[in-house]
């Protein structure tokens, strides 16, 4: 599955800010870390702000902070702001819906889309951050053991 650049920017920003919901980071802080365009990221952050996932804090030391719900906001919630995750509309155009071959192809592609949606919709930001911590801890343990 390949995501668009804006979607990656949104995921980096949301996860980086959600890692410490008290922390405020500027678009430049995040852009530098992930080597992405600060201008592009600023646009993405505005979209995330409209969706209620981040909020901007004005003044000295201002920036953005995570304002979503760690236990409720899923990867799907972030991704679908920037792209058509299920791909149903694009598929209907591409696969000659209404023909037997088009319908059969649609069936297979729908299966893949449904699995993608179920996967992304069942992983919350909190779960992904937790998984990341577990993986880091496991890697550290394995380093000590070896």
- Contacts with another protein, residue ranges (CB under 8 A): 74, 114-115, 118-119, 121-124, 126-127, 130-131, 134
Among residues 99 and 119, whose Cβ is nearest to another protein? 119
Residue 131 beta carbon to another protein: minimum distance, rounded to whole angstroms: 6
Residue 135 beta carbon to another protein: minimum distance, rounded to whole angstroms: 9
What CA–CA distance (Å, rounded) separates 83 from 79? 6
Among residues 42 and 120, whose Cβ is nearest to another protein? 120
The C-alpha R_g of the chain, in whole angstroms, comes to: 18
Among residues 73 and 106, whose Cβ is nearest to another protein? 73
Tokens of residue 137, six digits: 């801890």
Among residues 45 and 77, whose Cβ is nearest to another protein? 77
Residue 37 beta carbon to another protein: minimum distance, rounded to whole angstroms: 32
CA distances from 63 to 28, 58, 67, 119, 122 (A): 9, 7, 13, 31, 29
Q: What is the DSSP letter of 26?
A: -
Which helix (DSSP H) or strand (DSSP E) does residue 54 occupy? strand 54-57
Residue 92 beta carbon to another protein: minimum distance, rounded to whole angstroms: 21
């Amino acid at each position: 599955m390949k995501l668009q650049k804006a979607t990656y920017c949104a995921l980096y920003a949301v996860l980086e800010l959600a890692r410490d919901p008290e922390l405020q980071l500027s678009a430049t802080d995040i852009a530098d870390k992930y080597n992405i365009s600060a201008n592009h990221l600023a646009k993405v952050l505005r979209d995330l702000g409209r969706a209620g996932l981040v909020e901007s804090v004005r003044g000295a030391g201002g920036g953005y902070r995570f304002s979503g719900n760690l236990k409720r906001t899923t990867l799907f919630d972030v991704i679908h702001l920037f792209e058509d995750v299920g791909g149903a509309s694009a598929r209907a155009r591409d696969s000659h819906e209404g023909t037997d071959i088009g319908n059969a192809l649609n069936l297979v592609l729908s299966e893949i889309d449904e699995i993608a949606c179920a996967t992304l919709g069942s992983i919350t930001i909190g779960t992904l951050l937790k998984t990341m911590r577990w993986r880091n801890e496991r890697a550290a343990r394995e380093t000590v053991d070896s």
